[in-house]
Amino acid sequence: MNEHPALAGAAPGRLSVPKIGILVAACVALLLLYWSTAASMVAVWNSSETFAHGYAIVPISLWLIWRRREVFGRIPAVPYWPALAVLALCGAGWLLARAGEVQVVMQYAFVAMFPVVALAVLGRRLAGALAFPLLFLLFAVPFGEVFVQPLINFTADFTIAMVRATGIPVLRNGTMFELPTGNWSVVEACSGVRYLISSITLGCLYAYLSYRSTTRRALFIGLSIVVPIVANGLRAYMIVMIGHMSGMELATGVDHLIYGWLFFGLVMFIMFWIGSYWREDDAAPAAAAVAGRPAGALAARPITGVAIAALLVAALWPALGVVSDKASYNPAPVRLDGARLASTPSGEAAWKPEFLAPDAALGGRYTAAGAPIHLNVLYYRNQGPGKRLISSVNRVDNRDAKFQQVGSSGRLEEIGGRKLALRETRVKGPDGNYLVWHWTWVDGQFIANDYLGKLRQAQAKLMMHGDDGAALMVATPVGEQADTARAALRTFLAANLAPLQATLEAAREH
């Protein structure tokens, strides 16, 4: 009996070493093509304890694939060429996010390329059998900071409601509140985002390993989302009560963080312990491989072809990114001419935001409607990882100067006969509260929504308009009557909004 030439040298029931080498080489090449994006993920793992678990994701994914290694013996690897279209979409998303300096989207697009390449090389059946281990790689992306503020608000609402239900009077100011025994504030460390991210990651892994039913898996994953949010609210309430009952002697320093992790660990243990009662045995092995051909056996040539094609598709987008960078780069220094403003400054602004260093800044202390107005304009050009107009690290408040945000909402104001969308934020400082109006200027347009601002920036850069943009902020002290502060800001902007826009346009043209 003659041996089929395509199967010569291939051991039945497993992929041959050359074919595994092709898969590994494709992944390594993908990593090299997008090395800067991979390095940005590692930098976040190093700098933030919230995302330090990222180091464990790839080893866990490889271990999960190893646990399912029998699928290579019963499912043949058949290249799936349509996956290249999905890979192109990932690359286009990466390029768009790169132009808009949206790091987390770049990272997701990059990591998503690995399961898509596996789909192209292994085929729908074999890659489908390894879907969870491959998609688990997405947990390596340091994502979750967008939930910090909503979690802070929920924790503050929950804690204050529970304290009041206990019968203790509470005076609230945004996310800060006062009890008869002392003052409390729900800050980023109290948001519970670390608990939430850890719980979701472990919950998904536990659900995959313990259950076969999609319903049970979805239910447990849902619990892994809800439980840590509620548990963090209970944790905050318990800490406040411990501090209150002890006369602010306990749970007011680092010890409350220790209490928090102990409580979270106990809650997670109980959740997984209860979940163990739903455990399902592993499903029975699937039927044997396709008759007439050993499972996993495939000529190296088709795999090599689809792997090379995948890398060519993946390499297109970094090349386009380089072309876009060169075409939109502007080496000219930024100059902001404050003489265009209708108002004259009387000194430096007492309030300043906490932003990444801009290319140029304009600001000062002005007067409008009898109230002091603090102006800050921050201009950015040739943006990159260390210099972004729109970034999660940019804050309207300034923690180093002891300014803290206590509330924020969107507003639509009519200034000089035009509608201006902006964000209104209350900031508590060492000398009182401030009302801050802030928005961005991107590609010649005023924008209040950061997501729209990012899209506008990406569009401008890809169309070779450059990535110039600016953050505009005006602030004034605010007391009980916020409308008085708003009237002062309107008066200032009515006289200076058009000159500010002209100043920005002039800076862009040079």
pLDDT at 285 over 70: no
| Mean pLDDT of the region 459-485 | 89
Q: Is the pLDDT of residue 10 over 50?
A: no
- Reported as a single tens digit per residue, the pLDDT across 41-75 is 999 999 888 898 999 999 999 999 988 888 887 88
Residues 91-143 pLDDT 10s: 999 999 999 888 999 999 999 999 999 999 988 998 999 999 999 999 999 99
Identity of the residue numbered 137: L
3-state SS class at 111: helix
Q: pLDDT tens across 347-372, in order?
A: 888 778 889 999 999 989 999 988 99
381-415 pLDDT, tens digit each? 998 878 889 988 888 887 776 777 878 889 999 99
Q: Which residue has the higher pLDDT, 403 or 222?
A: 222
Q: Is the predicted pLDDT of residue 295 greater than 60, yes or no?
A: no
**Sign, Cα dihedral of 43, 48, 50, 52:** positive
Looking at per-residue pLDDT, the higher value among 227 and 2 belongs to 227
Q: Is the pLDDT of residue 153 over 70?
A: yes
* Calpha distance 261→59 (Å, rounded): 25
**Interval 413-463: pLDDT, tens:** 999 888 999 999 988 877 788 999 999 999 989 999 999 999 999 888 888
**pLDDT band at 246; cut points 50, 70, 90:** confident
Say which residues have a Cβ less than 8 Å from residue 320's Cβ, sequence separation at least 6.
95
Full DSSP string of 378-389? EEE-S-BTTB-S
User: Cβ–Cβ contacts within 10 Å for residue 410, how many?
Assistant: 10
pLDDT at 3: 39
Taking residues 164-181, what's their average pLDDT? 85
416 vs 257, residue with greater confidence: 416
The whole-number pLDDT of residue 431 equals: 79
pTM of the model: 0.80
CB 131 within 8 Å of CB 44: no
Contact 185, 404 (CB under 8 A): yes
Give the pLDDT confidence score for residue 341 in this predicted structure: 85
336 CB-near residues (< 8 Å, 6+ apart):
360, 361, 362, 377, 379, 503, 504, 507
In the block, tokens 């980023």 appear at: 188
Band the pLDDT of 262: cuts 50, 70, 90. confident
